[in-house]
Structure 1
Amino acid sequence: MRIAVVGGSFWDIFVFGKEAHSVLIKETPGGSGLNVAYGLFLLGYEVDFFSNIGNDYRGKHIIKVLNDEGFDISGIEIVRGEKTGLFIAFNDRPLAVDRGVNEKEVDVPSPLDDYDLIFITGEVPEETIKTVCEEGSNVVLDIGPNAKVDTENLKALVIGNEEECSKTRCDIVKMGPKGARWGRVEIPGNGRPFPYSLGLGDVFDVVLIHLLLKGKSQGEALKETVEYVQDFYGKEPKTPFEKISDIRFLEPFDKTIED
């Protein structure tokens, strides 16, 4: 099963704690596009990831981390003279975001017929989103907080959280502790807030796509995704990339499904 992921790449810096001299600081690769691509890779899918990074030390370190894990980096364009995106969070709240080279259009292959599914995030420019939705099939778009594209006429399955979906068309609404909704199907959550919620939307996307590709119905996939995220995530201070890395313990993709 071959999947294309088009999205952002960032260097994440997460600070946890209250006192300046006793905080926990974590730095990892990040970005919803990168996280989802890496999560699907860990589950055994053939993933082509298309994104932009700068040729600065952050970009070079992202490449090294992914390369060391055996992740295919051939679709990541290193743009000379540009900065890699930077995301800084303090106690699970976004503090500062420098989008850097993510502001530039992403070079995606044409045609996109070779892929069973295409996942794209709102981290990339509107022009890239429209191109992928027009040329691709089986497109899933997670709009994210930064997207400015009108999804009304896009040929895509659109995912977002409640705030994002209040502004544009969504098919699937992620509602945090309250669960999730897909059209008329609503799966209630347990109502317990996540102490560390940043990045759980990426985990949600990966698990949902995985279960759908394994043949689960919409209702089954949504229910199992909500339960999985609530049961296993958001309890420890981790970066989104660390949370995605834990997904390797989920049952991997069974390649016999393709037969």
Structure 2
Amino acid sequence: MIDRKPVIVVIGSLNMDIVIEADRQPQMGETILGNKITFLPGGKGANQAVALARLGARTVMIGAVGNDAFGQQMIASLDREGVDTSGIKIVDGEVTGLASILLAQGDNCIVCIPGANAHCTPEDVERNLSIIEAADMILLQMEIPLDTIRYTITTAKRLGKRVILNPAPATPLPADLLEQVDYLTPNFSELQILLETNEGNVTELIKQMQVRKVDHIIVTQGDEGATFVGQDGLVGRVSSHKVNVVDTTGAGDAFNAGLAFSIAMNESLKDAVFFANATAAQAVTKYGAQNGMPNIEDVKKLLSEL
């Protein structure tokens, strides 16, 4: 690994997570009683930024929050984690993004309200160009406008920067955009959405995605681990790490942060996926997305036990 801390820029969403715990998920049209409600800082972008900072990266967040109490709390929370928040703008007359999360039986379902995240624009990326120029890695998700994602990827490639795109929530993407992505990290259902199909196993779908000229594809599969393919065309598999699962809300965000950190530290794709799996495994042992993000010592401890 390189000695210095990598510089990773996260461009994405900031949400206040409204977490409701219940014994089970209700059926459509059914009302049930919940057990607990908690307000937690979240959003895929902010979650990944916190995870990267705890792993030891110099992390910069670019995004947008509303001019409200939740927005102030989001920025303060990131500041406490050591994330550089100079790239976060405050949007007057708009609410901070919200996510309603139902936790039941060890799993979750989520409904997001974009709010200020919809105002994260290409102009915000351009305004923070010096930050991107200094980055070792750019990490993106899809809770911000597609125009901003496209502009960021095009700008990053022009500057010779590596890009990880976590396509969540997924939507079909044009081929000219995908071929500029260095690392694509869908889960299996997101991969199906990207390819607009519900047929084929993970290996078959990865081969279909390779036709889109993505350099590296990493498909997360929950407790089944992750399947990946690099520029050599060889498909590999990393098993999951068995842990006591408390809350899976931030698992994908922890995985992407671990992957970005490890790749920025010049690890091989296989080692990076192994490290990312361990990061996600540690994250799900604690309650809350950002609260559960592990520090580098936690991940190293788990790796040493494997």
Q: Provide the TM-score with structure 2 as the length reference.
A: 0.73
User: Residue deviations 1:12-34, cap 9 Å, x none?
Assistant: 01122339887232211101111
Query: What amino acid is the match of 1:175?
Result: Q
Query: Structure 1 148/124 Cα, relative in aligned 2: closer, same or farther at 3 Å?
Result: farther
Q: Which secondary structure state, in structure 2, belongs to the residue aligned with residue 167 of structure 1? A: helix
Q: Is the 8 A contact 2:18 2:39 kept in 1?
A: yes
User: For structure 1, which segment, 154-163 or 184-193, has the greater mean C-alpha deviation from structure 2 after superposition?
Assistant: 184-193
Query: Structure 1 203/60 Cα, relative in aligned 2: closer, same or farther at 3 Å?
Result: same
1:80-119, aligned counterparts within 5 Å?
80-91=92-103, 92-106=107-121, 107-108=124-125, 109-110=128-129, 112-119=132-139
Tell me which residue corresponds to 1:161: 187
Q: Which secondary structure state, in structure 2, belongs to the residue aligned with residue 242 of structure 1? A: coil
Tell me the matched-pair count: 249
* Structure of larger gyration radius: 2
| Percent identical | 25
CA distance in 2, matches of 1:43, 1:190: 18
Query: Structure 1 23/248 Cα, relative in aligned 2: closer, same or farther at 3 Å?
Result: farther
The structural deviation recorded for 1:191 is 8.1
CA distance in 1, matches of 2:17, 2:79: 18
Tell me which residue corresponds to 2:263: 212
Q: Is the 8 A contact 1:89 1:95 kept in 2?
A: yes
User: For structure 1, which segment, 73-82 or 94-103, has the greater mean C-alpha deviation from structure 2 after superposition?
Assistant: 94-103
User: Residue deviations 1:197-223, cap 9 Å, x none?
Assistant: 221001111112222233321112222
Tell me which residue corresponds to 1:13: 18
The structural deviation recorded for 1:47 is 1.7
Whether 2:271 is the aligned partner of 1:249: answer: no
Q: Which secondary structure state, in structure 2, belongs to the residue aligned with residue 59 of structure 1? A: helix
Q: Which secondary structure state, in structure 1, belongs to the residue aligned with residue 8 of structure 2? A: strand
Query: What amino acid is the match of 2:223?
Result: P
The structural deviation recorded for 1:193 is 9.6
User: Residue deviations 1:30-83, cap 9 Å, x none?
Assistant: 011111112212223222210010001111121222234443221100000011
Whether 2:239 is the aligned partner of 1:188: answer: yes
Q: Which secondary structure state, in structure 1, belongs to the residue aligned with residue 149 of structure 2? A: helix
CA distance in 1, matches of 2:221, 2:116: 30
Q: Provide the TM-score with structure 1 as the length reference.
A: 0.85
Structure 2 stretches of 5 or more lacking a match?
A: 1-5, 25-31, 195-208, 230-234, 301-306
Instruction: Give RMSD over aligned pairs.
Output: 2.6
Tell me which residue corresponds to 2:56: 44
Q: Which secondary structure state, in structure 2, belongs to the residue aligned with residue 219 of structure 1? A: helix
Structure 1 stretches of 5 or more lacking a match?
A: 253-259
Tell me which residue corresponds to 1:144: 168
Query: What amino acid is the match of 1:126?
Result: L
State which of 276, 289, 296 in structure 2 corresponds to 1:240.
289
1:20-31, aligned counterparts within 5 Å?
23-31=35-43
